[in-house]
Chains A and B, each alone.
Chain A
Amino acid sequence: ELKVEQNPLFLSMQEGKNYTIYCNYSTTSDRLYWYRQDPGKSLESLFVLLSNGAVKQEGRLMASLDTKARLSTLHITAAVHDLSATYFCAVDIFGETSGSRLTFGEGTQLTVNP
C-alpha cells in the first residue's frame, strides 16, 4: 500500500523567513503534485513534477522531486502572510486498467505571522 508522509504537519513561521516542507512516499510514482487548500475551500494545483530532478518555481514557492529518494520538497522563500494555508503533496499511481488515482499526504498547515 502506498504511503505518503509529510512533515512538518504544522508550521508557524515569521514573515520573511525561509522554510521547507518534506514529502516522502513509499513506492515508485509516475508523478507528484503539490496542492494548496485554504480553509473551507477546494484544492488549488501548485506544481506537477514528472521526472527525477524536476524543479519548478512560482513566486515564493519552489518544488523539487528526487525519485530515487522518493522525496519531494516545497521550499518557501521570504514567507508572506498570504501563503498561510494547508499544503498537500499527492502521488499519482497510474495503471493501464486502474487509471490515475492520487494518494495524498496528511497536509502541512502553514501559518505565516507578521
Chain B
Amino acid sequence: DAGVTQSPTHLIKTRGQQVTLRCSPISGHKSVSWYQQVLGQGPQFIFQYYEKEERGRGNFPDRFSARQFPNYSSELNVNALLLGDSALYLCASTPPSDTQYFGPGTRLTVL
C-alpha cells in the first residue's frame, strides 16, 4: 500500500504570497492532520480533519486554513506568507484508534 503522499516536495515563495499544500492519506484512512515543523523544533499541530469536517485547530492565525475532500485528501492553505512560515509542513494520516502516519512533508521557504 502507498503511504501518505504530499505535494509539492519543495516550494519557494515570497512574503505576502499565498500557498496551497496537498496531502493524500493512506487508503482507508479518513482522518488527516497537519503539522508545522520549524527547523530545530518539534512539530506543532495545525489542523485535524475527519470525514471532511474540522475536528481540531491548533494555535495558528486565521491565515492558515484547510479542507478535506470526499476522497479524504486534504489541502492546507496559507495566505499572506511571512518569513516565519518557513518550515517543513507534515501531513499525518490516521486510522481509527491508531498511530498517526506521517508523509514526507513539504519544505516551504519564504523569502
Closest 6 pairs (CB-CB, A-B)? A99-B55, A104-B42, A43-B102, A98-B56, A101-B45, A99-B48
Binding site for A on B (CB under 8 A): 31, 33, 35, 41-45, 48, 50, 55-56, 58, 90, 92, 94, 98-105
Q: Are B100 and A104 in contact (CB under 8 A)?
A: no
Q: Are B31 and A99 in contact (CB under 8 A)?
A: yes
Q: Are A99 and B101 in contact (CB under 8 A)?
A: no
Q: Which residues of B contact A54 (CB under 8 A)?
A: none
| Binary contact track A32-74/B, C-beta < 8 Å → 1, others 0 | 0101000001111100100000000000000000000000000
Q: How far, in whole Å, are A105 and B40 apart by their CA atoms in the complex?
A: 11
Q: How far, in whole Å, are A103 and B41 apart by their CA atoms in the complex?
A: 12
20 additional A-B pairs beyond A4-B42, A90-B43, A107-B41, beta carbons within 8 Å, are A33-B99, A42-B103, A42-B104, A42-B105, A43-B43, A45-B101, A45-B102, A90-B42, A98-B48, A100-B33, A100-B100, A101-B48, A102-B35, A102-B45, A102-B92, A103-B45, A104-B42, A104-B43, A104-B44, A105-B42
- Measured between C-beta atoms, what is the minimum distance from B58 to chain A in Å? 7
Interface residues of A in 63-104 (CB under 8 A from B): 88, 90, 95, 97-104
Closest chain A residue, CB of each to CB of B104: A42
Q: How far, in whole Å, are A88 and B102 apart by their CA atoms in the complex?
A: 13
Q: How far, in whole Å, are A95 and B90 apart by their CA atoms in the complex?
A: 22
Q: Are B94 and A100 in contact (CB under 8 A)?
A: yes
Point out which of A41, A88, A101, A104 has the most chain B C-beta atoms below 10 A from its C-beta. A101
Q: How far, in whole Å, are A100 and B92 apart by their CA atoms in the complex?
A: 11
In the complex, how many residues of chain A place their beta carbon closer than 8 angstroms to a beta carbon of chain B?
Answer: 23
Q: Which residues of A contact B58 (CB under 8 A)?
A: 101
When A42-B102, A102-B35 are in contact, do A97 and B41 touch as well, CB less than 8 Å? no
- 20 examples of A-B residue contacts, CB within 8 angstroms: A4-B42, A42-B102, A42-B105, A44-B102, A88-B43, A90-B42, A95-B56, A97-B55, A98-B48, A99-B31, A100-B31, A100-B48, A100-B94, A100-B100, A101-B56, A102-B33, A102-B43, A104-B43, A106-B42, A107-B42
